[in-house]
Amino acid sequence: MINFNYVKPSTQKAVTDTLGKDATAQIIAGGTNLVDLMKRGVTAPEKLVDITGLPLKNIEQQKGFVRIGTLALNSEVAESELILKKFPLLAKALNAGASPQLRNMATVGGNMMQRTRCSYFYDTAMPCNKRKAGTGCGALKGYNRMHAIFGTTENCIAVHPSDMCIALVALDAIVVISGKAERRIPFADFHRLAGTNPDKDNTLQRGEMITAIEIPDNDALAKNTVYLKVRDRASYAFALISVAAALDVKDGNIAAVRLAMGGVAHKPWRLTAAENFLKGKVPSTENFKQAAAIAMKDAKGFGHNNFKLKLAPNTIIQALTTVSTQA
Protein backbone atom coordinates (compact mmCIF):
# COMPACT_ATOMS: atom_id res chain seq x y z
CA MET A 1 0.00 0.00 0.00
CA ILE A 2 1.39 3.39 -0.99
CA ASN A 3 1.33 6.47 1.23
CA PHE A 4 -1.78 8.61 0.78
CA ASN A 5 -3.32 11.82 2.03
CA TYR A 6 -6.50 11.75 4.10
CA VAL A 7 -9.16 14.45 4.30
CA LYS A 8 -12.58 14.55 5.95
CA PRO A 9 -14.68 17.36 4.45
CA SER A 10 -17.71 18.61 6.38
CA THR A 11 -19.94 19.37 3.36
CA GLN A 12 -21.00 17.64 0.15
CA LYS A 13 -19.65 20.55 -1.88
CA ALA A 14 -16.25 20.20 -0.26
CA VAL A 15 -16.26 16.49 -1.17
CA THR A 16 -17.21 17.03 -4.81
CA ASP A 17 -14.78 19.96 -5.13
CA THR A 18 -11.96 17.76 -3.84
CA LEU A 19 -12.88 14.94 -6.22
CA GLY A 20 -13.09 17.38 -9.12
CA LYS A 21 -9.67 18.90 -8.46
CA ASP A 22 -7.76 15.69 -7.72
CA ALA A 23 -8.11 12.84 -10.21
CA THR A 24 -6.34 10.46 -7.80
CA ALA A 25 -8.81 11.04 -4.95
CA GLN A 26 -11.33 8.37 -3.95
CA ILE A 27 -14.18 8.38 -1.48
CA ILE A 28 -14.00 6.12 1.55
CA ALA A 29 -16.82 5.29 3.95
CA GLY A 30 -16.98 1.74 5.36
CA GLY A 31 -13.90 0.79 3.34
CA THR A 32 -14.88 -2.89 3.15
CA ASN A 33 -13.80 -3.18 -0.49
CA LEU A 34 -11.49 -0.21 -1.10
CA VAL A 35 -9.08 -1.04 1.73
CA ASP A 36 -8.71 -4.61 0.43
CA LEU A 37 -7.93 -3.31 -3.05
CA MET A 38 -5.34 -0.89 -1.65
CA LYS A 39 -3.65 -3.60 0.41
CA ARG A 40 -3.34 -5.82 -2.66
CA GLY A 41 -1.97 -2.99 -4.82
CA VAL A 42 -4.93 -3.21 -7.21
CA THR A 43 -5.74 0.46 -6.68
CA ALA A 44 -3.55 3.21 -5.26
CA PRO A 45 -5.42 6.47 -4.58
CA GLU A 46 -3.16 9.30 -3.50
CA LYS A 47 -5.96 10.87 -1.47
CA LEU A 48 -8.83 9.35 0.50
CA VAL A 49 -11.90 11.52 1.04
CA ASP A 50 -13.77 10.39 4.15
CA ILE A 51 -17.48 11.19 3.86
CA THR A 52 -18.65 9.57 7.08
CA GLY A 53 -19.22 12.95 8.71
CA LEU A 54 -21.92 13.95 6.24
CA PRO A 55 -25.63 13.69 7.18
CA LEU A 56 -26.45 11.02 4.58
CA LYS A 57 -27.68 8.05 6.64
CA ASN A 58 -31.41 8.71 6.33
CA ILE A 59 -34.01 6.04 5.52
CA GLU A 60 -37.29 7.88 5.13
CA GLN A 61 -40.62 7.93 3.36
CA GLN A 62 -41.12 10.87 1.03
CA LYS A 63 -43.95 11.61 -1.37
CA GLY A 64 -44.16 8.65 -3.73
CA PHE A 65 -40.84 7.04 -2.81
CA VAL A 66 -38.47 5.95 -0.06
CA ARG A 67 -35.14 7.76 0.12
CA ILE A 68 -32.05 5.95 1.43
CA GLY A 69 -28.91 7.99 2.08
CA THR A 70 -25.62 6.82 0.65
CA LEU A 71 -24.13 6.34 4.14
CA ALA A 72 -26.93 4.13 5.45
CA LEU A 73 -25.37 0.86 6.55
CA ASN A 74 -26.41 -2.34 4.80
CA SER A 75 -27.50 -3.77 8.14
CA GLU A 76 -29.60 -0.68 8.96
CA VAL A 77 -31.42 -0.86 5.63
CA ALA A 78 -32.04 -4.61 5.94
CA GLU A 79 -33.47 -4.18 9.45
CA SER A 80 -35.47 -1.01 8.78
CA GLU A 81 -39.19 -1.46 9.50
CA LEU A 82 -39.96 0.81 6.54
CA ILE A 83 -37.88 -1.31 4.13
CA LEU A 84 -39.23 -4.59 5.51
CA LYS A 85 -42.78 -3.34 4.98
CA LYS A 86 -42.43 -1.70 1.56
CA PHE A 87 -39.43 -3.40 -0.06
CA PRO A 88 -38.82 -6.81 1.52
CA LEU A 89 -37.00 -7.85 -1.67
CA LEU A 90 -34.24 -5.36 -0.83
CA ALA A 91 -33.95 -6.61 2.74
CA LYS A 92 -33.72 -10.22 1.52
CA ALA A 93 -30.97 -9.35 -0.96
CA LEU A 94 -28.96 -7.46 1.65
CA ASN A 95 -29.22 -10.32 4.15
CA ALA A 96 -27.99 -12.73 1.46
CA GLY A 97 -24.86 -10.67 0.93
CA ALA A 98 -21.58 -10.73 2.84
CA SER A 99 -21.39 -11.47 6.57
CA PRO A 100 -23.08 -9.68 9.50
CA GLN A 101 -19.77 -8.02 10.34
CA LEU A 102 -19.40 -6.61 6.84
CA ARG A 103 -23.04 -5.54 6.67
CA ASN A 104 -22.45 -3.55 9.86
CA MET A 105 -19.68 -1.60 8.12
CA ALA A 106 -20.66 -1.48 4.45
CA THR A 107 -22.71 1.46 3.20
CA VAL A 108 -25.32 1.64 0.44
CA GLY A 109 -23.11 3.87 -1.70
CA GLY A 110 -20.07 1.69 -1.09
CA ASN A 111 -22.03 -1.42 -2.02
CA MET A 112 -22.90 0.20 -5.35
CA MET A 113 -19.28 1.19 -5.96
CA GLN A 114 -17.68 -2.14 -5.06
CA ARG A 115 -15.55 -3.71 -7.73
CA THR A 116 -15.55 -7.18 -9.22
CA ARG A 117 -14.14 -10.11 -7.28
CA CYS A 118 -12.58 -11.60 -10.41
CA SER A 119 -9.36 -13.35 -9.31
CA TYR A 120 -7.48 -12.00 -12.33
CA PHE A 121 -8.44 -8.45 -11.33
CA TYR A 122 -7.17 -9.03 -7.79
CA ASP A 123 -3.89 -10.70 -8.85
CA THR A 124 -1.55 -7.93 -10.03
CA ALA A 125 0.72 -10.52 -11.67
CA MET A 126 -2.04 -11.52 -14.09
CA PRO A 127 -3.36 -9.67 -17.17
CA CYS A 128 -6.53 -7.66 -16.60
CA ASN A 129 -7.98 -4.87 -18.72
CA LYS A 130 -10.01 -3.59 -15.78
CA ARG A 131 -6.86 -3.02 -13.76
CA LYS A 132 -4.52 -2.03 -16.59
CA ALA A 133 -5.91 -1.29 -20.04
CA GLY A 134 -4.43 -3.22 -22.94
CA THR A 135 -3.02 -6.13 -20.94
CA GLY A 136 -5.80 -8.54 -21.93
CA CYS A 137 -8.41 -10.54 -20.06
CA GLY A 138 -6.84 -13.44 -18.19
CA ALA A 139 -10.23 -14.97 -17.43
CA LEU A 140 -11.25 -15.24 -21.08
CA LYS A 141 -9.23 -18.42 -21.63
CA GLY A 142 -8.36 -19.02 -17.99
CA TYR A 143 -10.34 -20.34 -15.03
CA ASN A 144 -13.65 -18.54 -15.52
CA ARG A 145 -16.12 -20.51 -13.40
CA MET A 146 -17.52 -17.41 -11.67
CA HIS A 147 -17.67 -15.25 -14.77
CA ALA A 148 -20.28 -13.58 -16.98
CA ILE A 149 -22.57 -15.14 -19.57
CA PHE A 150 -24.29 -11.91 -20.71
CA GLY A 151 -22.96 -8.68 -22.18
CA THR A 152 -19.40 -9.95 -22.49
CA THR A 153 -16.64 -8.85 -24.83
CA GLU A 154 -13.11 -10.08 -25.48
CA ASN A 155 -11.99 -7.25 -23.18
CA CYS A 156 -13.66 -8.48 -19.99
CA ILE A 157 -15.98 -11.21 -18.70
CA ALA A 158 -16.04 -10.17 -15.02
CA VAL A 159 -19.30 -10.02 -13.06
CA HIS A 160 -20.76 -7.40 -10.76
CA PRO A 161 -20.58 -8.77 -7.19
CA SER A 162 -23.43 -7.02 -5.34
CA ASP A 163 -26.64 -8.65 -4.10
CA MET A 164 -28.22 -5.36 -3.03
CA CYS A 165 -27.91 -3.92 -6.53
CA ILE A 166 -29.83 -6.81 -8.08
CA ALA A 167 -32.83 -5.98 -5.93
CA LEU A 168 -32.52 -2.25 -6.59
CA VAL A 169 -32.52 -2.66 -10.37
CA ALA A 170 -35.61 -4.86 -10.08
CA LEU A 171 -37.31 -2.21 -7.94
CA ASP A 172 -36.74 0.55 -10.53
CA ALA A 173 -34.64 2.56 -8.07
CA ILE A 174 -33.23 5.97 -8.92
CA VAL A 175 -29.66 7.02 -8.14
CA VAL A 176 -29.27 10.57 -6.83
CA ILE A 177 -25.88 12.04 -7.75
CA SER A 178 -24.35 15.33 -6.62
CA GLY A 179 -21.63 17.29 -8.38
CA LYS A 180 -21.69 20.62 -10.14
CA ALA A 181 -25.43 19.94 -10.31
CA GLU A 182 -27.67 17.24 -8.91
CA ARG A 183 -28.88 14.58 -11.31
CA ARG A 184 -31.07 11.51 -11.03
CA ILE A 185 -30.59 8.46 -13.21
CA PRO A 186 -32.37 5.08 -13.34
CA PHE A 187 -30.49 2.43 -11.37
CA ALA A 188 -30.33 0.29 -14.52
CA ASP A 189 -28.23 3.02 -16.18
CA PHE A 190 -25.78 3.54 -13.32
CA HIS A 191 -23.56 0.50 -13.84
CA ARG A 192 -21.94 -0.19 -17.21
CA LEU A 193 -21.18 -3.23 -19.30
CA ALA A 194 -17.48 -3.71 -19.89
CA GLY A 195 -17.52 -2.73 -23.58
CA THR A 196 -14.20 -1.29 -24.69
CA ASN A 197 -13.57 0.38 -21.31
CA PRO A 198 -13.86 -2.36 -18.68
CA ASP A 199 -12.03 -0.19 -16.15
CA LYS A 200 -15.16 1.99 -15.91
CA ASP A 201 -17.72 0.27 -13.71
CA ASN A 202 -20.35 3.00 -13.67
CA THR A 203 -21.45 6.33 -15.12
CA LEU A 204 -20.22 8.58 -12.31
CA GLN A 205 -18.25 11.51 -13.65
CA ARG A 206 -15.25 13.18 -12.09
CA GLY A 207 -16.31 15.44 -9.23
CA GLU A 208 -19.50 13.49 -8.50
CA MET A 209 -20.70 11.37 -5.60
CA ILE A 210 -23.75 9.24 -4.85
CA THR A 211 -25.90 10.95 -2.23
CA ALA A 212 -29.01 8.75 -2.11
CA ILE A 213 -31.16 6.02 -3.61
CA GLU A 214 -34.86 6.63 -4.23
CA ILE A 215 -37.21 3.66 -4.62
CA PRO A 216 -40.69 4.42 -6.01
CA ASP A 217 -43.63 3.12 -4.00
CA ASN A 218 -45.22 0.00 -5.47
CA ASP A 219 -47.40 -1.76 -2.92
CA ALA A 220 -48.49 -4.36 -5.47
CA LEU A 221 -44.97 -5.81 -5.57
CA ALA A 222 -44.28 -5.64 -1.84
CA LYS A 223 -45.95 -8.86 -0.68
CA ASN A 224 -44.72 -11.62 -2.98
CA THR A 225 -40.94 -11.48 -3.32
CA VAL A 226 -37.95 -13.78 -3.28
CA TYR A 227 -34.20 -13.36 -3.57
CA LEU A 228 -32.77 -16.71 -4.55
CA LYS A 229 -28.98 -16.93 -4.36
CA VAL A 230 -27.14 -20.04 -5.55
CA ARG A 231 -23.62 -20.17 -4.17
CA ASP A 232 -20.91 -22.66 -3.27
CA ARG A 233 -21.67 -22.46 0.45
CA ALA A 234 -24.55 -21.05 2.46
CA SER A 235 -22.32 -18.72 4.47
CA TYR A 236 -20.42 -15.71 3.10
CA ALA A 237 -19.97 -16.36 -0.64
CA PHE A 238 -20.62 -14.53 -3.88
CA ALA A 239 -23.41 -15.66 -6.17
CA LEU A 240 -22.93 -18.18 -8.92
CA ILE A 241 -26.44 -17.16 -9.96
CA SER A 242 -28.97 -15.02 -8.10
CA VAL A 243 -32.50 -14.02 -9.02
CA ALA A 244 -34.59 -11.21 -7.55
CA ALA A 245 -38.28 -11.74 -8.25
CA ALA A 246 -41.48 -9.93 -7.31
CA LEU A 247 -44.93 -10.92 -8.54
CA ASP A 248 -48.44 -9.48 -8.37
CA VAL A 249 -51.25 -11.87 -9.34
CA LYS A 250 -54.80 -10.63 -9.86
CA ASP A 251 -57.77 -12.74 -10.92
CA GLY A 252 -55.44 -15.65 -11.63
CA ASN A 253 -53.15 -13.76 -14.01
CA ILE A 254 -49.81 -11.99 -13.56
CA ALA A 255 -50.57 -8.27 -13.32
CA ALA A 256 -46.99 -7.15 -12.67
CA VAL A 257 -43.60 -8.83 -12.37
CA ARG A 258 -40.00 -7.81 -11.68
CA LEU A 259 -37.01 -10.01 -12.48
CA ALA A 260 -33.28 -9.37 -12.24
CA MET A 261 -30.19 -11.57 -12.07
CA GLY A 262 -26.80 -11.45 -10.43
CA GLY A 263 -23.61 -13.39 -11.12
CA VAL A 264 -24.18 -13.22 -14.87
CA ALA A 265 -22.95 -9.84 -16.16
CA HIS A 266 -20.69 -6.84 -15.57
CA LYS A 267 -23.77 -5.03 -14.19
CA PRO A 268 -27.03 -6.00 -12.48
CA TRP A 269 -28.98 -7.81 -15.19
CA ARG A 270 -32.67 -6.89 -15.57
CA LEU A 271 -34.81 -9.48 -17.39
CA THR A 272 -37.18 -7.07 -19.13
CA ALA A 273 -38.09 -9.35 -22.05
CA ALA A 274 -39.04 -12.15 -19.67
CA GLU A 275 -41.12 -9.71 -17.61
CA ASN A 276 -42.99 -8.56 -20.69
CA PHE A 277 -43.71 -12.15 -21.70
CA LEU A 278 -45.18 -13.02 -18.29
CA LYS A 279 -47.51 -10.04 -17.93
CA GLY A 280 -51.14 -11.11 -18.30
CA LYS A 281 -50.32 -14.82 -18.27
CA VAL A 282 -51.20 -17.53 -15.80
CA PRO A 283 -48.41 -18.25 -13.30
CA SER A 284 -47.61 -21.77 -14.49
CA THR A 285 -44.53 -23.93 -14.82
CA GLU A 286 -44.80 -23.87 -18.61
CA ASN A 287 -44.94 -20.07 -18.72
CA PHE A 288 -42.05 -19.84 -16.28
CA LYS A 289 -39.99 -22.16 -18.49
CA GLN A 290 -40.73 -20.02 -21.54
CA ALA A 291 -39.82 -16.85 -19.63
CA ALA A 292 -36.53 -18.43 -18.58
CA ALA A 293 -35.77 -19.41 -22.17
CA ILE A 294 -36.44 -15.82 -23.27
CA ALA A 295 -34.18 -14.52 -20.50
CA MET A 296 -31.32 -16.75 -21.68
CA LYS A 297 -31.27 -15.38 -25.22
CA ASP A 298 -27.70 -14.42 -26.20
CA ALA A 299 -26.17 -16.10 -23.12
CA LYS A 300 -22.67 -17.43 -23.78
CA GLY A 301 -20.38 -19.61 -21.68
CA PHE A 302 -16.58 -19.60 -21.70
CA GLY A 303 -15.76 -23.15 -20.67
CA HIS A 304 -15.58 -23.44 -16.90
CA ASN A 305 -18.79 -21.40 -16.50
CA ASN A 306 -20.84 -23.31 -19.08
CA PHE A 307 -22.84 -24.85 -16.21
CA LYS A 308 -24.42 -21.41 -15.71
CA LEU A 309 -26.26 -21.84 -19.02
CA LYS A 310 -28.36 -24.52 -17.30
CA LEU A 311 -28.21 -23.23 -13.73
CA ALA A 312 -29.44 -19.73 -14.64
CA PRO A 313 -32.77 -20.70 -16.26
CA ASN A 314 -33.41 -23.31 -13.56
CA THR A 315 -32.88 -20.63 -10.92
CA ILE A 316 -35.30 -18.28 -12.70
CA ILE A 317 -37.94 -21.03 -12.81
CA GLN A 318 -37.42 -21.88 -9.15
CA ALA A 319 -37.61 -18.22 -8.09
CA LEU A 320 -40.82 -17.65 -10.05
CA THR A 321 -42.34 -20.87 -8.74
CA THR A 322 -41.49 -19.91 -5.17
CA VAL A 323 -42.88 -16.40 -5.44
CA SER A 324 -46.02 -17.57 -7.21
CA THR A 325 -46.94 -19.81 -4.29
CA GLN A 326 -46.94 -16.71 -2.05
CA ALA A 327 -49.53 -14.96 -4.23
| CATH of residue 284 | 3.30.390.50
Q: What are phi and psi of 186, to 5 degrees?
A: -60, 140
pLDDT digits (tens, 9 = 90+) for 253-284: 999 999 999 999 999 999 999 999 999 999 99
Q: How far apart are alpha carbons 305 and 308 in whole angstroms?
A: 6
Note every long-range contact of 320-325, with CB atoms under 8 Å and residues 24 or more positions apart, other chains counting.
320/245, 320/247, 320/259, 320/278, 320/283, 320/288, 320/291, 320/292, 321/285, 321/288, 322/226, 322/228, 322/245, 323/224, 323/225, 323/226, 323/245, 323/246, 323/247, 324/224, 324/247, 324/249, 324/283, 324/288
pLDDT digits (tens, 9 = 90+) for 165-187: 999 999 999 999 999 999 999 99
Q: How far apart are alpha carbons 151 and 248 in whole angstroms?
A: 29
Q: Is the pTM of this model over 0.95?
A: yes
Q: Is residue 196 part of a domain?
A: no
Q: Is residue 159 part of a domain?
A: no
Q: Is the pLDDT of residue 98 over 90?
A: no
Indicate the residue among 35, 52, 69 that finishes a domain.
Answer: 52
pLDDT digits (tens, 9 = 90+) for 306-325: 999 999 999 999 999 999 99
Q: Is residue 244 part of a domain?
A: yes
Q: Please list, in sequence order, all residues whose beta carbon lies within 8 angstroms of the beta carbon of residue 134, skipping any fewer than 6 positions away.
A: none
Domain residues for the domain of 15 are 5-52
Looking at residue 137, the DSSP 8-state letter turns out to be B
Q: Is the pLDDT of residue 327 over 80?
A: no
Average pLDDT value for residue range 127-137: 96
Q: Is residue 188 part of a domain?
A: no
Domain count within the chain:
2
Indicate the residue among 34, 52, 70 that finishes a domain.
Answer: 52
Q: Is residue 131 part of a domain?
A: no
Task: Determine contact, residues 313/295, Cβ cutoff 8 Å.
Answer: yes
Average pLDDT value for residue range 61-86: 98
